Every structure is written in structure tokens, then in C-alpha cells.
Homo-oligomer: A and B are copies of this chain.
Amino acid sequence: MKNTKPKFNQIIDAAVEVIAMNGYHSSQVSKIAKKAGVADGTIYLYFKNKEDILVSLFQEKMGQFIERIEQEIAEKNNAEEKLLELIQLHFRQLGANLPLAIVTQLELRQSNPDLRKKINDVLKRYLTVIDSIIEEGIEEKLFQENLNKKLVRQMIFGTIDETVTNWVMKDHKYSLVGQAEEVHELLVNGISKR
């Protein structure tokens, strides 16, 4: 299965490396082709245009990312545990793959609106996972029943996202996954004293 479309994956992996190392604006198609060990023209046999490389990259990498989260979460017993697992997996997967983290947190955000829209389509699946945890938590009476679900989702995603971005931008020398429990605790219980 992995050997299906070997060039396709070769090119996507090259793109991640090149963008992480050089930044989005210095990642010309020719540079990606060189890193992938193919000719410039070959790229266009597998991708419609440059933007399509990036969209595919995101679909491919985030697809696996989300899939794994969906699987692992299914095994947890309640919404709180699922939320913790989601945070931990999010942090673990990006924390173990700095180039990918750089690309998703920083470089891909410099893209044009069209691309960003397509990236958001991929993200929707992830946001749906968060939504279902929230709903489950409410059903389980773990979470407040009158929560504004959309806002909660934004808080969860915004906090996770900002935490990863900070880790990538600042130092990424401390353990990202080591912060999962604290982040979870904050999201669940807030900052105020009871």
C-alpha cells in the first residue's frame, strides 16, 4: 500500500522538509522537486499545481493525524478522558515531528485565501471530533449542559493551537506533551478558585 504512488508521497515528504527548512516563501517548486529527486515537470504529473501540493500535504498528514486521534479516543470511557487523550495525541504527534509542526503552525498560514479555505475543510473533521466530545460530555453530565458548543470548541482548539504555536516559535526545547495535563485541567476547570 505504501508503494502505491511512491512519487506522490516522495514529493509530499520533500515539501514538508523543504518548507520547514526554508520557509514557505523560499520553497519553490524546483526546490521541492530536487529534494524529492524528481524533475520539476514530474511534479505536475502528480499535482495540479503548487497549491495542490500543499493541500495534499495537509490532507495526507492531517488525515493520518486525525485518524489516529479518532481511533485512540474511541477506546476512552468518557468525555474528560477523551479530551485529555485528544490533547495528548495532538501534542505527541506534533511534538515528535517538528518539521510538520513548523509547516502546519507557521508556514501554511502564509498561504492565500483559497488554500486556507481548503485547509479549513480538512480541519473540519478534527473540529467535528472535538464537537462530539463536547456533546458526549454534556450527555454524561460531566460538562455543563448549557454550554455554547461552538465557543467551547473554539476555546479548546484555540488553546491547543496557541500552545503548539508557542512551542514551535519560542524554543521547542521543553516537552510539548508534558503540558497536556495542565492544559486539560485548565480547559476543564478554568482558572478561578472554587
- A: which residues have CB within 8 A of B? 23-25, 80, 106, 109-113, 116, 120, 134, 137, 141-144, 147-148, 150-152, 154-155, 157-163, 166, 169, 179, 182-183, 186-194
Contact = CB atoms under 8 A, between A and B. Distances in A.
Most buried by B among A24, A113, A141, A160: A113
Contacts of A183: 151, 155
A22 B94 CA distance: 33
Nearest to A185: B190
What is the count of identical protomers in the complex?
A: 4
A161 to B, nearest CB: 6
A111 B110 contact: yes
A113 B109 contact: no
B154 A155 contact: no
Contacts of A189: 189-190, 192
Chain A interface mostly: helix
Contacts of A137: 191-192
Contact of A154 (B112, B116, B157, B159): B159
A62 to B, nearest CB: 17
A80 B166 CA distance: 25
Contacts of A186: 147-148, 151-152, 155, 190
A180 to B, nearest CB: 10
Contacts of A109: 109-110
16 contacts: A110-B110, A110-B112, A134-B191, A137-B192, A142-B192, A143-B191, A143-B193, A144-B193, A148-B186, A150-B166, A155-B159, A155-B186, A155-B187, A158-B158, A158-B161, A188-B190
Given A155-B187, A159-B159, A80 B192 contact: yes
